[in-house]
Amino acid sequence: MIFKVTAAMGALAFVCVVLFVTPDSQWNPHAVREELLGGMLFIPAAIGLLLAIDNIGHTGFADRMTLIYGGIAAVSVAAWIWRELSVRNPLIDVRLLATRDIGMANAIFVALAIGAFQGGQIMALFGQQPGSTGVGLGLSATAAGFLLLPANLITAACYPAVAKLNHQFGPRYVAMSGFALILLGFGSLIIWHEDVVLVIILLVTQSFGLGIVYVTIPMVIVSASPADRVSEATGMMTVIRATAMAIGAQTVATLLSARDSGHGGAVGRFPLESDYVTVFAFVCATAIGGMLLARFLPTRLAIRED
């Protein structure tokens, strides 16, 4: 049903574009073909990387197919970058990534998307896993979904305050503080993950940090972009974030790949407590990486006169 609904929404969006979006005043089929080719080259790069990560969980780094998938991803990324640099009107202007603030901000978003953004997937599995397996909260699917509700509501409410903090203290220290909260939340989950109330409190803590970084990075990118390239810079940020989220989701799934924990045989194949601890530690590692990268953000947001 997820695939059906997504396909239906895509078809609806296509019809709406045809009916309601004003046609381009200057239609250039050659430019369109160039943009489509640039977009198509990115697809095997992303798929190859995801397949490589998945294969690592089954057969390891040195397996032949892992190396093949990784090679396909590397070659495709190189071809995509070369293509985008060689055309006059690229789908994504990778030259913007050479700008220090924009490039660093996107690198930080990658760390955030690979790690803390996976909290929903991690806690949905952890929340529903039966306690009889030795780990998990044994909640229903609905109750497990509500685990993240308080964190999401509180985080949404704090977004306006984050913008003010960025203007007052600068994105460098605000982003570092956000990653520190993520590290505190998931670091504590490594030790304490048995009590539902405590888990919710720790999720709220890390979600505060996630929200802080999530608001800060676009502000840095917008302030560092030329006035006529802001939409392109933010669009590129969205593509990079979505790709990193997919990589993070596959990485987490690989780390939590089901093994027989000895609680029910083939019917009771659940991740072990050590698997969850590994995933919590993985998110902590990405938070540390993000914190180190945040040290290179500007201490003040650039202010344009436009």
pLDDT for the residue numbered 82: 85
- Tens of pLDDT, residue by residue over 216-234, are 999 999 999 888 788 888 8
Residue 147 sits in the same domain as residue 52: no
State the average pLDDT for the chain.
Answer: 85
Residue-level pLDDT at 120? 87
Please, are residues 294 and 108 in contact by the beta-carbon 8 Å criterion?
A: yes
Both 80 and 103 in one domain: the answer is no
Averaged over 119-125, what is the pLDDT? 89
Most confident of 17-26, 56-65, 266-275: 17-26
Domain that holds residue 193: 97-306
Same domain? For 139 and 234 the reply is yes
Domain count across the chain: 2
11, part of any domain: no
Does residue 20 sit within a domain? no
Domain membership of residue 13 (yes or no) is: no
Query: Of the segments 33-37, 163-167, 262-266, which one has the largest average pLDDT value?
Result: 163-167
3-state secondary structure 248-298: HHHHHHHHCCCEECCCCCCCCEECCHHHHHHHHHHHHHHHHHHHHHHCCCC
154 and 270: one domain? yes
Residue 150 lies in a domain: yes
Return the pLDDT at 238: 87
- Note whether 205 and 262 are same-domain residues: yes
Identify whether residues 60 and 199 lie together within a single domain: no
| CATH number, domain with residue 116 | 1.20.1250.20
pLDDT value, residue 304: 57
Q: What is the mean pLDDT of residues 69-97?
A: 82
2 within domain boundaries: no
- Residue where a domain terminates, one of 91, 111, 132: 91
